[in-house]
Amino acid sequence: MSYEEIVSSYNYQAPQNIDFYLTPLGNRQFSFSFTSFDGDRVNGQIRYPQTEKPSYPVLLGISAMGRSHERWWWDSYKGRPTITQVNKITDIANSKGYAVIAIDARYHGSRKDPELPLSSIMKKLHYFGDKTAYGNMIRKTVLDYRVLIDWISTQPQLDKTNINLAGYSMGAQIVLLLSALEENIQKVISMVPPYLDNKVAAVALINLVAHSRAKELLLITADSDEYATEEQNRELFELINANSKRHRIFAGNHILPAGYIDTVAGWLQ
């Protein structure tokens, strides 16, 4: 696929009415749902800082494969610990004045499809099989976030000129794709994105990151990541376009050590 063909695959018709429904949860936190570009219903949560302000910068949190949006709020969910520690990122961001928003990706959380489980999607991606389902999962999740960003731009309490992205693993892939498609993205934090080649060209980062519009970008990788080699991570970092960028490499595998959170905290100043 050419660059132009890839970008056109992310075109969408913005709904005139996304039927955004908000439910208070207490402690300045809300659950919400809305209708995306293709009629699919999206669910998520938003938590505001404790300090009242006319408008808040926004951090969009995007989860790893198999993780629901609740991981951004809790250190464990359904009896399983949040080993990616993204809930700590939410706490840090809120303390620094950001409103944090997260939604479920396609085929995740309440959007799971029993006829197309993630195990089937990933088996076809890594072995012989139709890779369309994986490509659609990533591409349509990117588009769900684009519809969400459209909504943010209409909300006076949210600063549409200060939208920031943080994602882990699959979420790290999605934030980099979004940064190449959306204007006015300020900071991007991409944590251990997987390496993908042109078997799934429309969602392979190597085809889009040179066109990133991020103002500042932090790439966090591991030196023994099973989903991306050190060489592939270095190649990715070199390709990324950003006004300012930094690459932080940790010892270990795809599950980053606890200390990576301190690097994120410094980046969110």
Query: 248 has which bridge partners?
Result: 220
Q: Which residues of 68-77 are buried (b: 16+ CB within 10 A; e: fewer)?
A: bbbbbbeeeb
What type of residue sits at position 89?
A: I
Q: Is the pTM of this model over 0.85?
A: yes
The pLDDT confidence band at residue 265, using thresholds 50, 70 and 90, is: very high
Q: Report how far residue 45's alpha carbon sits from residue 247's, in angstroms, rounded to the nearest whole number.
A: 30
Q: Residues 123-144: pLDDT tens digits?
A: 888 877 789 999 999 999 999 9
Q: Residues 53-76: pLDDT tens digits?
A: 999 999 999 999 999 999 999 999
Q: What is the model's pLDDT at position 210?
A: 96
For 16-45, what is the mean pLDDT?
96
Give all domains of the chain, ordered by start, each with its CATH number: 3-267 (3.40.50.1820)
For 229-241, what is the mean pLDDT?
97
